[in-house]
């Protein structure tokens, strides 16, 4: 079994913000979960470095696009580990290997008869790097996303015959209802297709910052076709992840991983780039005779004060400030817990702090410290062997499978909720069983043993399942339980044997400063 998940490649025209962090975190949760299932996993992220958004931003700063790209690519590259994201490769579209694949694939598209020379006339947003039809622009000819005034462009370009794929795309959507999720996004993509596809520019004449068109070096490829191909090109030169031998070479030596990981299992994106991924991308792959990805999952926007966060709108919540004060785990948890994955959701420092305190500190943190504390106090840390409480075990029955089924559909918030219900169940179990009462009565020692064992095992089970969301905290906690095993099979209640627990410092300390207070001097 192999699993290949991607994030969009981010524009290097600005620094990373919470929106980028969100998609990377979500893809990382999926990658980690699939690794727990023992699958061969490849997780790709990277940067989109060509085109007008980058060229314009560089010129505004008085530097060359390559310099801006180098500078900001480093910041995106550094973002992933700060989020505890475990991407297997970081692609940059200025990588020469990527550029060669773009030229090769798009030449094939031309040889297959899907490219012709034409004249484009219409609206163009340089921030979106997107051509817009008359009915897609706001009043005053403004971009509906960036609110900037658009210019009408006229340019001789090579065109991609998107219209030739009308029937095949409709057939794809009819045959594979899970190609795009959630359903609202599937419907949106399908209705765009049904409204009638028009051919789109494949190259730009006015621009020089891009991949050169091999059959006409006066042109560069339109940045979106260059960018989309990253998902495919990366596999041809990325080093193989640990444990996977590349088809064409040694693990780690840059073997060709295409045979192992293509087609991609999931492209995770937000709705701003839906049309490119759900219409242009499958059509382009069809034109190049490359197999289509399995799923595109379209999540919503993180909103601040009701508007999509973006650098150009200047309303950005700084993920680094949150990480610095609360750690990456808390950010990961908050974003996937508070905003239903797939829908828009408002984020704020106050709702973050509320979740941190009420759920991470008071629910999971307390459960861990109570469980370990009682085992230390009453049993010197030793966990007895024997049966688990059947009533509690019944509440955990099939949990790992349900979580897996949700993650298979990229329902990351629902999967987390399944787990969290068990965290709450365990806290109720402590209250119901009142081990402190049992501990006072020698005659009930066996009962106490069973309660403590059931608690410890329940805690271990939820912690294994929480690992993709809270990797550092989960590893610390499993370390204290003496049960570092992370596989999903091992998440079953009763699958592990905890013999002895060790004391643990508070997992989610409460005496942290608020997110938006100035750092301590
Ligand atoms: O579009 N809420 O790059 P980009 C949620 N280079 N997600 C958000 C977000 C928000 N407020 N803001 C950004 C591009 N994102 C192209 C992609 S792919 C072949 C080329 C995330 O830097 C989300 O994943 O504008 C969105 O789709 C992506 O960042 C856009 O990043």
The confidence band for 308, taking pLDDT boundaries of 50, 70 and 90, is low
pLDDT of residue 309: 56
Q: What percent of the chain has pLDDT over 70?
A: 93
By annotation, the residues acting in catalysis are 17, 20, 125, 128, 143, 146, 308, 311
The answer on pLDDT for 115 being more than 80 is yes
* Mean pLDDT score, 190-212: 95
The answer on pLDDT for 311 being more than 60 is no
234 lines ligand 1 (CB under 6 A): no
Radius of gyration over every alpha carbon of the chain, rounded to an integer in angstroms: 26
330: nearest Cα among 514, 458, 460, 480:
514
pTM: 0.94
The confidence band for 98, taking pLDDT boundaries of 50, 70 and 90, is very high
Give 370 or 244, the one with higher predicted confidence: 370
* Mean pLDDT score, 489-514: 89
Give 332 Cα–ligand 1 centroid separation in angstroms.
Answer: 17
- Per-residue pLDDT tens for 225-260? 999 999 999 999 999 998 776 544 444 445 699 999
pLDDT of residue 317: 62
pLDDT of residue 249: 42
Q: What is the CATH number of domain 2-316?
A: 3.40.50.620
269: nearest Cα among 340, 336, 176, 185:
185
pLDDT of residue 242: 82
The answer on pLDDT for 154 being more than 60 is yes
Give 157 Cα–ligand 1 centroid separation in angstroms.
Answer: 26
pLDDT of residue 251: 42
The answer on pLDDT for 125 being more than 60 is yes
288: nearest Cα among 232, 327, 329:
232
The answer on pLDDT for 325 being more than 90 is no
Pocket probe mutation, ligand 1, options 5, 8, 24, 80, max atoms within 8 Å of Cβ: 8
Count the alpha carbons within 13 Å of 43 in the hemisphere toward its beta carbon: 22
CB atoms within 10 A of CB 503: 11
The answer on pLDDT for 514 being more than 70 is no
Name the range with the highest mean pLDDT among 145-149, 317-321, 333-337.
Answer: 333-337
Give 37 Cα–ligand 1 centroid separation in angstroms.
Answer: 29
302 lines ligand 1 (CB under 6 A): yes
Mean pLDDT of the chain: 92
**What fold, for 349-491?**
Isoleucyl-tRNA Synthetase; Domain 1 (1.10.730)
* Mean pLDDT score, 66-91: 96
Query: Which residue, by CA, sits nearest to atom 10 of ligand 1?
Result: 19
Give 386 or 311, the one with higher predicted confidence: 386
The confidence band for 314, taking pLDDT boundaries of 50, 70 and 90, is very low
pLDDT of residue 293: 98
The confidence band for 14, taking pLDDT boundaries of 50, 70 and 90, is confident
93 lines ligand 1 (CB under 6 A): no
* Mean pLDDT score, 327-335: 97
Residue 173: partners with Cβ closer than 8 Å, 6 or more residues away: 179, 180, 186, 189, 190, 193
pLDDT of residue 77: 96
The confidence band for 519, taking pLDDT boundaries of 50, 70 and 90, is very low
Contact 439, 448 (CB under 8 A): yes
- Per-residue pLDDT tens for 441-457? 999 999 999 999 999 99
9 lines ligand 1 (CB under 6 A): yes
Domain range summary for the chain, segments of one domain joined by +: 2-316, 349-491
Query: End-to-end distance of the chain based on CA atoms, in angstroms?
Result: 51
């Amino acid at each position: 079994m192999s699993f290949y998940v991607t994030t969009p490649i981010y524009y290097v025209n600005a620094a990373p913000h919470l929106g980028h962090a969100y998609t990377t975190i979500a893809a990382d949760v999926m990658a980690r979960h699939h690794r727990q299932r023992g699958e061969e996993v490849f997780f790709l992220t990277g940067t989109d470095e060509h085109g007008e958004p980058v060229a314009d931003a560089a010129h505004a700063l008085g530097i060359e696009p390559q310099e801006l790209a180098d500078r900001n690519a480093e910041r995106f590259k550094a973002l992933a580990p700060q989020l505890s994201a475990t991407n297997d490769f970081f692609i940059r579209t200025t990588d020469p290997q990527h550029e060669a694949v773009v030229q090769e694939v798009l030449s094939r598209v031309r040889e297959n008869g899907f490219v012709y020379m034409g004249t484009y006339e219409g609206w163009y947003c340089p921030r979106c790097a997107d051509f817009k039809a008359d009915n897609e622009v706001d009043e005053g000819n403004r971009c509906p996303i960036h609110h900037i005034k658009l210019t009408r462009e006229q340019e001789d370009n090579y065109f991609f015959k998107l219209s030739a794929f009308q029937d095949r795309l409709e057939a794809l959507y009819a045959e594979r209802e899970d190609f795009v999720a959630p359903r609202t996004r599937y419907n949106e993509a399908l209705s765009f297709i049904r409204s009638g596809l028009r051919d789109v520019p494949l190259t730009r004449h006015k621009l020089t910052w891009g991949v050169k068109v091999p059959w006409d070096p006066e042109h560069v490829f339109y940045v979106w076709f260059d960018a989309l191909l990253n998902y495919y090109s990366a596999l041809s030169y990325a080093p193989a992840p640990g444990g996977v031998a590349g088809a064409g070479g040694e693990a780690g030596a840059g073997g060709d991983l295409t045979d192992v990981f293509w087609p991609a299992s999931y492209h995770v994106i937000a709705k701003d780039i839906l049309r490119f991924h759900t219409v242009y991308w499958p059509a382009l792959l069809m034109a190049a005779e490359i197999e289509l990805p399995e799923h595109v999952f379209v999540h919503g926007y993180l909103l601040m004060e009701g508007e999509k966060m973006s650098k150009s709108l200047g309303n950005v919540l700084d993920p680094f400030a949150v990480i610095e004060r609360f750690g990456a785990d808390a950010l990961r948890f908050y974003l996937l817990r508070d905003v239903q994955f797939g829908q828009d959701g408002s984020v704020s420092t106050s709702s973050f702090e509320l979740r941190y305190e009420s759920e991470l500190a008071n629910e999971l943190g307390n459960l861990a410290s109570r469980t370990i504390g009682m085992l230390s106090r009453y049993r010197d840390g030793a966990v007895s062997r024997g049966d688990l409480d059947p009533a509690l075990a019944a509440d955990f029955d099939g949990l790992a499978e349900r979580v897996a089924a949700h993650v298979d559909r990229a329902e990351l918030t629902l999967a987390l909720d399944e787990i969290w219900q068990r965290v709450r169940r365990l806290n109720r179990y402590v209250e119901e069983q009142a081990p402190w009462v049992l501990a006072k009565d020698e005659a009930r020692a066996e009962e106490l043993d069973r309660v403590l064992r059931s608690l410890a095992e329940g805690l271990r089970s939820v912690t294994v399942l929480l690992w993709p969301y809270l990797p550092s905290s989960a590893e610390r906690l499993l370390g204290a339980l003496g049960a570092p095993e992370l596989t999903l099979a091992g998440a079953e209640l009763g699958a592990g044997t905890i013999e002895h627990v060790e004391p643990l410092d508070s997992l989610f300390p409460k005496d942290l400063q608020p997110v938006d207070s100035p750092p301590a001097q």
